[in-house]
Each structure stands twice: as C-alpha cells, then as structure tokens.
Amino acid sequence: MASEDSFLVLVHHRGSIKRKTRSGVKFTDKDPLCIIVRPTTGYDALVSSVLEKLGLEGVKRVMYLCRRQFPEVRTPELLAKLVDVVSSSGGSNRNANTIATVAGSSSRLAVASSSVPVYEPAIQPVASPSFAVDLSGNVGDEVRYGEHHLTELRCPTPAGVGEGLFDDPDDDDVEPDMIADDSGDDLGASHPRRATGFGARDTEGSAGMTEFQVGQQFQDKDEALLSVKTYVGKCSEFGNGCTWLIRLSLRQRKGIWEVKRYNGPHTCLATSISSDHRSLDYHVIATFIMPIIRADASVNIKVLLNATAAHFGFRPTYRRVWMAKQKAVAIIYGDWDESYNELPRWVLGVQLTMPGTVAVLRTCPVRVGGQLDESQANFHRLFWTFPPCIEAFHHCKPLVSIDGTHLYGKYEGTLLVTIAQDGNSNILPVAFALVESENAESWSFFLSHLRQHVTPQPGLLVISDRHNGIKAALEAPDGGWLPPAAYRAFCIGHVAANFALTFKGKDARRLLVNAAYAKTEVEFDYWFDILRSENLAMCDWANRIEYSLWTQYCDEGRRFGHMTTNISECVNSILKGVRNLPVCSLVKATYARLAELFVRKGREAEAQLGTRQQFSQYLVKCIEANLKTARCFTVTVYDRDNSEYTVAETTPTGSFSLGSYRVSLASQTCDCGYFQALHFPCPHALACCAYSRLTWQPYVHQVYCLSSIFDVYQIGITPPIPEDFWPPYDGPTVIPNPNMRRAREGRPRSTRIRTNMDDADPNRPKRCGLCRQPGHTRRSCPQAGRPTHTGGNK
C-alpha cells in the first residue's frame, strides 16, 4: 500500500493500447507494471524506475518522452520510446520499443480506490513548450496513441538548417561558426541564454528532455530535423563556458542520418532565458498560422504574434511573424513572384469567360547589363472592369468615389478603386487598377480608362481627396473630366483631417464639418460664424478652398447627400483581405467577390419587388421619418396649380430652423435644402402634398425605385472557365518590379499615412490589446494566463 503522498504509475506496452473511447482509454494487457513514486521524484529517477521494473536497465534507454492529456478521464499519458544502449564501438540495434505510462488524476491513492492519481513534480520547471509536438492536437497530423509524437508533425524544413546543419559525409569535423536558419531575423539576443528547443525542457530533471549521442541514427532527414529541433545546433554561449554542439551528416551508403559530433549533455547554466527562440523560425510559425490565414488573410500581424506567443510560449519578432504570414499566404494563394506572370493568362481567360471585360495591362522593359531583355517585362499597371459593373452604373446615382489603398505583402503597390452607390445605399465597386503609387501618371491612367469604358455619362460628379495627382488628371484638357462634362468634389473627411493638422481641437473640426453638411447658405453662415468667433485663421484656411468643392449647399444637388468617399466601407465589407494577397489572387478575388455581391443584392431586390413595393427600403425609412415631422407644420398654398407653398413650423425640427419655408413642388425645391440635395420630398414638401391631397411618389428620383435597383444587379457574373481552357500566353514573362520589393531587413515599414481620420471613435467598443476581441482588456484576456517566457530581449 502506498503512503498518502505517494502516487501509483501503471506501465503498459504500446501494443496493449486500444483507441480512445467515450468511456476512456482501454488497454488489453491485464497485468501492467506498477511503480510507486513520490512528488519529489525527478525525471531521471522516474526513467530509472521504469527501466528497472522492466528489467532493461543498462540495456535500453529512453530516447523520447512526451506527455499527452486525456480530458475524458482526467488522466495524463507519458509516452516513451526505448532504444538499445549504444555500445562502445558506436553500433546500435535498430530495434525500439514504446511504452505508455498512464497515471490517473481523480484522487489520492487509497486501498479501495480504483482511480489512479496524477504524478506531478514538486517544483514547476521553467517550461519551454514543444514546437514539433502538439500535445493538444491542434497543429499537424493527428497523433496516435502509443507512438512517439515527434514524427507526427508535418513542418517545412528550414532552408538554413538543411544546408548548414546537415553536412556531406566527406566533410571533416571542423566546427561551423553558427548553425541557424536563413530567416534573416534579428533575434536580438544580447543576454546569455540556454539553447532550448522543440520538445525540450529548460531545467534539469524535467520531462521531455531529449539527449543525443555519437552514432545515433535516423531513418530520414525529416526525422533527424524534428529531433535536432530540440536544440539549435550550437549554444549561443559557445566559447563562453559552454561547449554544447551537435552536428548531423548523411551516411550515403546506408541512406541514414547520423549524429557525427555531439558535445553533450547540455549543462549551460545561463541565468536568463530569452523570450524569443531560434528554432521558432518563420517556417514553423507559417505552419501554425495557416488555418488563421486561410480564414482571414487580413488578420493583423500583432494578432498573429500574440497567438504564436500564447501557443508556443515564446514571443518571436514582428518581422518573423510578418515573414511567416507572407509564406502562409504564398502557400495558400500562390507564389508572390509567379503571381505577376499569371496576370496575362488571367486577362485572356476572363475576356473569354465574359466578353466585354476590359483589362489593360502595362509593362516596362527589362534591361540586363544595359541590354534589353525581350524575354521578360516588369509589371507596371493594370486596369480592369467587368460588363455587369459597366451596365450597373447606368442605374446607380450619377456620382463616383475614387480612392486608393496600399497593398500589403512582399511587394509594394496601390489598389485604385471606383465606387458607385445604388438607390438603396449599397456600395458597388465598378472599376479597379493596380499601380505603383498614387501620382499624376497613375491617376491619369486610371481615370482615362474609367471615363472611356465605365462612366461616359455627362454631368458626373467625382468625389475624392485633395491629392495633387487626382487634381492633375481631372484637369487635363483631353481627360474628359472638365465641367460641364464632369464635376469634382472633395471628401469632407479628408478636408477635416487636413484642417485638424493645423488647428487642434475636436470642437473646431466639428464646426467645419457641420458647415460643410449645411444644405442652405443661411445654415452654412450660422456654423461658419461660430467658427470665425473661435479663430479667424480657421475661416481663412477654409476660404482658400472653393466652396463648391467641399460644401453641400453649393453643389447644386450633385452629391445626393454623399460627403465622403466610401473606400473604407468598400474595403472592409466587399474587398476585405484582398490587399494581403498576391496580385493575381487579388484580381481573381475581385471577380469572386463581385459575383457573390451581385447574387446577394439581386436576390434582395427581387424579393422586395415580390412584395409590390415601389421604392427602396432606404427611401421608405426616410419618408416615414419625414412624415412624422410633417404633422407639426402649417401650410399655405399660393397658386391654383398647387405648386407653390409656404410652410411654417409650429415646433422647431432641428438644431437650426428658419421657422418658415418656401416649397415649390414644380421645381422640387425647398428653402431647407433637403428636397434638392437628396432628390426626394423633405418634411415640408410632404406637408404640402398632404395639404393638397397629392401623392408624393412623382417627386422621387428614379434611382430610388426598386426597378432601378433590380436593374443594377440584373446582369450577373458568369462562372469562370477552368484555367486549363484559358488561351495560352506567348508573350514575355511578366515579373515584379524589383524596386517595389519591401525592405528585407528590419520591421516592415508601414504604408499607412495616419491622420486625424484614424482617431478612435469614442462610442466604439474597446478591444483587447492581446486577442483584439471586444468585451475584455489585456489583463482579463483568457490568453493572458497561458505560459509565455519573458525576460531577455524581444
């Protein structure tokens, strides 16, 4: 009988283990070996007890020892692989056995108790969680019971390890300067540290320690890699008191990998442990984050970094996680460089799929040593749009928003987008372009093709920011964007952001925005006078911009109430994640996202038509709100044709009120400005219609009719023809411009130019800084409790 502080360990042979069932883990051997251990029993003592009980002490040794938890029965399992002890000649028997040591955890051991308590060491070691072994089964292939875990994970081989760590058989035993991967990461380890690694523990006597010896052999390179991942080949303190080193080489005659040199065991007594880890390279991180990237390619690097640190227990550098994300994206969506050469075939394929598709590809010549290389061409620009988008714009509001957004990935670049809006306030991207950056030439390329292929209508309004490249392209004499063919307006969000760079304070910015949104000159003067009383210089700054470009009351109703570009909404709702993809996958994603959008919005419009409604849901809600306000008015008619009225407000309807308004149903105007700005009846016009018993429907713009909205999505996107049937491309190989390659060292430079538009909304829910989920903070985050090494350099 064991004492109160003792624990019972049952030892089963691997062949006796059955598969896990709902009732627990089943074993076939009826007489397992029993070992009594105490809480102070160390790892070496436990291994010696197991070997002694098996009668194999001095004959066998434990090569791997890994731990797995069975939550159904609250029972941990220790899996150990036994191999023959190597003789003095270096020979070794290839026979190996695996045992499973299982201990229950439900209660203390008693005479009549059938439960088996858990064995845990008295002192918790500083853990160095396994990277090659996923004990929870989240990464890699499923781990089978009774087998050692190290051969189950499928990780890509780091190039630097394969080239530097594994030598040719003819190499001598000269010690290399450093054995590491080729990730190019700056590990930043200035403090002394122990060389810890995959499946290892940092403190003596802990479970999971892997040792090597000269003559030890492996079946293949993968097994050797996963084994050597326990250490990083050479301790970072090598030469400063630590002599730990391991080298592996290929025995070509036998076709096996062998430990050729090993100075072990590792006994470095460094006082601190780095929070980073060499073996946690971007290849391993890419394998771990693959499911996350597959679900959302736009996931933030900080989120991936926190998830990696929480899972592995080490915190890698920002750049290493960034490189891991680029590799994961390349594996899922295609190689970054090859993606450029796929664009010409995509152009041919999409034009075959949907005749009428416009795709204009521009390239630049490649010169090698001063000579023109006709076999290659550098990618320069690409414009594309689809027939359903061209047709849809004829039924949208006669305005477009244009803006650019930076690409994220191996190569820099900018995605230019043209966004339209239907009568139900649904945004619709109608044209795209990939360019090197926002400049006069790139905007001229984009806008000239936009005008030629998508928006030939006269009187069109273009809403944009104040970029000089857009200004130059729109003001070009031969561009077709000069009045009266087209008009320009500024996004008030960008204007206010520029204003805030000079004048601090949210109150002043709010006054400027209120003045811009004013629909009448009287209301504009009201807000502008308040702004002038705050600071005369603010009004001088605003007066330098032509009023028709940024105020609503001077736009003659061309804005339809739209004061900003919709690029953020478009990217977040329709094009989410495309900026993180290789270029060919990006353009393919626009095709797929638009196909889904046309189907979804077309079904919604068709369902609304089935209810015999006449107008969009957006307009119905606005009319209902205006009707409630119209009950507080006094109406006077001034002509027998029931077209000219005055409306007096018995109760003010807003923060600014004139008290009395003139309404003309014939010209569809009102002194409040809403009627002519939004192109549907304002509360005063509805009051006049009710007074004269007229219907208000004839005074609504055609764009708000459900029939127009249905026409927007009537032509759908054709299913793509399989790539095997695309026409062949026999032109020069398209390659990325090497000047667009992002920096190879250091933290990737952010392409985001932050302004006051990036200020957080005070009404927006707070998010955790660790997992980016709302509802809690970093201190109370569930992931914060997971073991993560700290100390040393990050």
Beta-carbon contacts of residue 80 (< 8 Å; ≥ 6 apart): 47, 50, 62, 64, 65, 66, 98, 99, 100, 101, 148
Confidence of residue 127 (pLDDT cuts 50, 70, 90): very low
Torsion angle of alpha carbons 668, 674, 676, 677, nearest 10°? -160
Our measurement of the distance from residue 662's CA atom to the centroid of its chain's CA atoms, rounded to an integer in Å, reads 53
pLDDT in tens, 720-755: 999 999 999 999 999 999 999 987 666 555 555 444
Instruction: Dump the DSSP string for 403-440.
Output: EEEE--SSB--EEEEEEEE-TTS-EEEEEEEEESSSSH
SS3 annotation, 8-56: EEEEEEHHHEEEEECCEEEECCCCCEEEEECCCCCHHHHHHHHHHHHCC
Q: Annotate 181-205 with b (16+ C-beta within 10 A) or e (fewer).
A: bebebebebeebbbbbbbbbbbeee
pLDDT in tens, 543-578: 999 999 999 999 999 999 999 987 777 877 788 889
Burial class (CB in 10 A: 0-12, 13-18, 19+), 444: middle
pLDDT in tens, 186-226: 333 333 333 333 333 232 222 233 455 666 676 666 566 54
Q: Annotate 567-592 with b (16+ C-beta within 10 A) or e (fewer).
A: beebbeebbebbbbbbbbbbbbbbbe
**What are the backbone angles phi and psi of residue 577, rounded to the nearest 5°?**
90, -10
Our measurement of the distance from residue 111's CA atom to the centroid of its chain's CA atoms, rounded to an integer in Å, reads 57
434: nearest Cα among 405, 400, 475, 393: 405
Q: Which residues pair with 62 in a beta bridge?
A: 82
Average pLDDT value for residue range 57-78: 54
81: nearest Cα among 94, 100, 67, 68: 100
What's the CA gap between 290 and 139, in Å, rounded? 10
Q: Which residue has the tokens 């394929």?
A: 349
pLDDT in tens, 261-291: 887 776 665 444 445 566 788 998 999 999 9
CA distances to 506, 521, 564, 653 from 531, in Å: 12, 15, 21, 23
What's the CA gap between 57 and 51, in Å, rounded? 5
3-state secondary structure of 132: coil
**What are the backbone angles phi and psi of residue 103, rounded to the nearest 5°?**
-135, 130
Q: Which residue has the tokens 């320069």?
A: 380
Is 191 within 8 Å of 793 (Cβ atoms)? yes
Average pLDDT value for residue range 39-52: 74
What's the CA gap between 709 and 698, in Å, rounded? 17
Please tell me the pTM assigned to this model.
Answer: 0.64
Higher per-residue pLDDT: 57 or 405: 405
Confidence of residue 25 (pLDDT cuts 50, 70, 90): very low
Joined together, the tokens standing for residue 195 give: 């060389």
Beta-carbon contacts of residue 253 (< 8 Å; ≥ 6 apart): none
pLDDT in tens, 751-777: 554 444 444 455 566 777 667 677 787
Higher per-residue pLDDT: 231 or 666: 666
Has residue 108 got a pLDDT over 60? Answer: no
What's the CA gap between 717 and 740, in Å, rounded? 33
- The percent of residues above 70 in pLDDT, for the chain, comes to 65
CA distances to 419, 563, 780 from 492, in Å: 17, 6, 39
390: nearest Cα among 654, 604, 594, 578: 594
Is 662 within 8 Å of 675 (Cβ atoms)? no
Q: Which residue has the tokens 């003010």?
A: 652
Torsion 41-45-50-52 (CA) sign:
negative
77: nearest Cα among 135, 131, 139: 135
pLDDT score recorded for residue 102: 42
Higher per-residue pLDDT: 615 or 27: 615
Joined together, the tokens standing for residue 485 give: 């063919």
Is 38 within 8 Å of 68 (Cβ atoms)? no
Question: Domain extents for the chain?
Answer: 7-14+31-84, 229-263, 282-333, 334-490+564-608, 492-563, 616-699
What's the CA gap between 423 and 700, in Å, rounded? 11
Mean pLDDT value across the chain: 75
Cβ-based neighbour number of residue 281 at 10 Å: 28
Helical (H) or strand (E) element with 384: strand 371-385
SS3 annotation, 736-760: CCHHHECCCCCCCCCCCCCCHHHCC
Q: Terminal CA-to-CA distance of the chain, rounded, Å?
A: 51
What's the CA gap between 187 and 277, in Å, rounded? 8
DSSP state of 60: E
Higher per-residue pLDDT: 52 or 22: 52
Confidence of residue 351 (pLDDT cuts 50, 70, 90): very high
Higher per-residue pLDDT: 688 or 93: 688
Joined together, the tokens standing for residue 469 give: 């490249």
pLDDT score recorded for residue 129: 31
Q: Which residues pair with 251 in a beta bridge?
A: 256
Q: Helix crossing, 506-517 with 492-502: angle to 10°?
A: 150
Helical (H) or strand (E) element with 734: strand 733-735
Cα Rg, the chain, nearest whole Å? 35
75-84 vs 60-70, strand pairing mode = antiparallel
pLDDT in tens, 465-504: 999 999 999 999 999 999 999 999 999 999 999 999 999 8
DSSP state of 57: B
285: nearest Cα among 185, 201, 195, 200: 185
Q: Which residues pair with 87 in a beta bridge?
A: none
- At CA 395, angle to CA 394 and CA 401, rounded to 5? 75
Q: Which residues pair with 414 in a beta bridge?
A: 406, 435
What's the CA gap between 491 and 501, in Å, rounded? 16
pLDDT in tens, 284-317: 899 999 999 999 888 989 999 999 999 888 889 8
- The percent of residues above 90 in pLDDT, for the chain, comes to 48
pLDDT score recorded for residue 227: 52
Q: Helix crossing, 343-353 with 583-610: angle to 10°?
A: 30
Beta-carbon contacts of residue 687 (< 8 Å; ≥ 6 apart): 630, 633, 635, 647
Q: Which residue has the tokens 């985001």?
A: 752
Q: Which residues pair with 84 in a beta bridge?
A: 60
Average pLDDT value for residue range 604-611: 91
Is 379 within 8 Å of 529 (Cβ atoms)? no
24-27 vs 33-37, strand pairing mode = unpaired
3-state secondary structure of 451: helix
Confidence of residue 374 (pLDDT cuts 50, 70, 90): very high
Burial class (CB in 10 A: 0-12, 13-18, 19+), 756: middle
- At CA 285, angle to CA 283 and CA 291, rounded to 5? 110
